Amino acid sequence: MTLIDAHLTGNRNRNRLPAGAGAGAGTGTGQCSEAFSALFDPTTFRHIERLGIGPGWRCWEVGAGGFSVVSWLAKRVGPTGRVLATDTDISWQTSAARPPVEVRVHDVAADVPPGGGFDLVHARLVLDRVPDREAALRSMIRALRPGGRLLVEEADPALQPLACPDEHGPAEQLANRLRAALIAERGNDLAYGRGLPRLLRAAGLRQVEADAYFPLASPACAALETATILHSRTSLTSAGLTTEADIADHLANITAQPLDLATAPLISTWGRKP
């Protein structure tokens, strides 16, 4: 289990955290969500702005998991637009949504895609944990109007697997050993993110582009690292991948000294439906 997976276990289709950022239910979830938004929302918003979002756009936020992206979209599309936020679990919705936002229970891989012809479909850290990724991609593309844009963002832990890329002492060495343990526990495709450009082209999208981003030395990275280790400590020790002593030392190191912690790259890929 990587740091992304720790968050995923709390809710399979929520906003997810790339390796180096995450938490599960009952372990600093609120703190993780705030840190995650601080780290990755600006990147997501930059890409959506580049795609030309404006008043009247119809947007589908897949696996929303919260309101940070949804609220931003609602401001951009205005009262004449539409923002549909879907998830398999909408327990994060604590109050009734107001136009132009609609929240709906939906499984992107299993359910019929919502109609209406969307100008933008966005999924962030969703497909990596969907059992049938091909079906999910097909569903999102079907929901686009001709000329509509798809933006998919997924982590790639294999591309940058270190917790501390600038390893120079015992604390960084320990952090990297624990990151390796988290990755070893994961068991699904660690390189899915880098394949997104090929997959979107194969699905028939045009003007496909991508880039990668990973935070380094941010206080939010430290908060997410702590929450993930706390969430994963039982599974890691039960599997013999690390010890309670190593976990305790790592958590103390995060608090006591600056560690330039990093996340796995977030691969953002976008394309246009012909």
- Of 75-79, 126-130, 163-167, 261-265, the least confident: 126-130
152-165 pLDDT, tens per residue? 999 999 999 999 99
**Locus of tokens 């002492």:** 169
Confidence of residue 34 (pLDDT cuts 50, 70, 90): confident
Q: Which of 93, 86, 82, 90 is nearest to 118 (CA)?
A: 82
Q: What pLDDT is recorded for position 188?
A: 65
Q: What pLDDT is recorded for position 31?
A: 63
Q: State the pTM of this model.
A: 0.88
Q: In angstroms, what CA-CA distances link 2 with 64, 86, 101?
A: 20, 25, 32
Q: What pLDDT is recorded for position 16?
A: 41
- Whether residue 1 is predicted with pLDDT greater than 90 in this model: the reply is no
45, two tokens: 């918003």
Q: What pLDDT is recorded for position 26?
A: 38
41-60 pLDDT, tens per residue? 999 999 999 999 999 999 99
Confidence of residue 30 (pLDDT cuts 50, 70, 90): low
β pairing state of 144-155 and 101-105: unpaired
Rounded to whole angstroms, how far apart are CA atoms 21 and 181?
15
| pLDDT (average), residues 31-42 | 82
| pLDDT (average), residues 238-265 | 95
Cis bond leading into 99, ω under 30°? no
* CA dihedral (244, 249, 255, 260) positive or negative: negative
- Is 115 exposed, middle or buried (CB count within 10 Å of its CB: 0-12, 13-18, 19+)? exposed
Q: In angstroms, what CA-CA distances link 58 with 55, 145, 203, 218?
A: 9, 10, 21, 34
3-state SS of the chain is CCHHHHHHCCCCCCCCCCCCCCCCCCCCHHHHHHHHHHHHHHHHHHHHHHCCCCCCCEEEEECCCCCHHHHHHHHHHCCCCEEEEEECCCCCCCCCCCCCEEEEECCCCCCCCCCCCEEEEEEECCHHHCCCHHHHHHHHHHCEEEEEEEEEEEECCCCCCCCCCCCCCHHHHHHHHHHHHHHHHHCCCCCCHHHHHHHHHHCCCEEEEEEEECCECCHHHHHHHHHHHHHHHHHHHHCCCCCHHHHHHHHHHHHHCCCCCECCCEEEEEEECC
Average pLDDT, the chain: 88
Q: What pLDDT is recorded for position 13?
A: 36
Q: What pLDDT is recorded for position 35?
A: 77
Cβ contact 192:127 at 8 Å: yes
Instruction: Kindly list the structural domains of the chain, giving each domain's residue range(s) and its CATH number in brackets, ordered by start.
Output: 3-160+190-214+264-272 (3.40.50.150)
204-243 pLDDT, tens per residue? 999 999 999 999 999 999 998 998 899 899 999 999 999 9
Total length of the chain: 274
Q: Which of 90, 41, 39 is nearest to 63 (CA)?
A: 90
Q: Which phi and psi (to 5°) does residue 208 adopt?
A: -80, 130
